[in-house]
Amino acid sequence: MTEIDLALSVALGVALAAASGFRVFVPLLVMSAAANWGYVSPGAGFDWLATLPALLMLAVAAAIEVVAFYVPDLDNLLDALAAPAAVIAGIVVAAAAMTDVSPMLKWTLAIIAGGGAAAMTQGATTFVRAHSTMLTAGLGNAAVATGELAGATVLSIVALAAPLIALALTALLALAAFRLFRRRGKGGPDDTGGRPSPR
């Protein structure tokens, strides 16, 4: 494997992992569909992704997940459950995407970069949904769910078509999430309605 092939493989895995933070099953579904159509070849041990039963199972799971996030109150509960699931899915899809990579390097990158990317996007979406629930009494959560679905789908497709571009988008998402969390940590306008805190 050349250095370029390795970079593309890692970029694909990390971008798909980041998409798992938006929706757990969508990136796996997209990769399974691509594998079934012969567009990609999953790494060793992940041949099951290229099977029709896996494609059908992931399609059903993705559909249930997508619909569930449009149910009021259930969406916030799912956010708590989705956090560990997103990290696991991110690790799995990252490892599956990294072909012809030594097992030690593959799993190290999958756990650190893949799991980290999934945790980053999941944390950001949880933060946004919590604020939407607080500010709109949950009425704006459907828009958040639609944005998450679009993010998971678009990022997954771009990852397959142009892994390096998808990796750049993932880096931008990481920067946005970092600024969002830092602003929250400093107690920005969201905490005080834009007014100075009393001393």
> 198: pLDDT confidence band, cut at 50, 70 and 90?
very low
CA 138 to chain centroid, in Å, comes to: 22
pTM value is 0.85
Distances (CA, A) of 52 to 24, 25, 57, 59, 128: 19, 16, 9, 10, 35
Q: Half-sphere exposure (CA, 13 Å, Cβ side) for 32?
A: 20
Vertex 85 angle, CA 174 and 98, to 5° = 65
**Token output for 178:** 């970092």
For tokens 């970092």, the residue is: 178
Query: What is the Cα–Cα distance from 11 to 94, expressed in whole angstroms?
Result: 9
Query: What is the Cα–Cα distance from 65 to 70, expressed in whole angstroms?
Result: 9
Query: What is the Cα–Cα distance from 184 to 164, expressed in whole angstroms?
Result: 30
Digit-coded pLDDT (tens) for 43-78: 888 999 999 999 999 999 999 999 999 988 788 788
Digit-coded pLDDT (tens) for 115-124: 999 999 998 8
For tokens 């756990």, the residue is: 111
Report, as an integer, the average pLDDT of 111-139: 89
The DSSP letter of residue 195 is S
Report, as an integer, the average pLDDT of 117-142: 88
| Residue 34 and residue 16 in contact, taking contact as beta carbons nearer than 8 Å | no
Query: What is the Cα–Cα distance from 79 to 153, expressed in whole angstroms?
Result: 18
**Token output for 79:** 């956010």
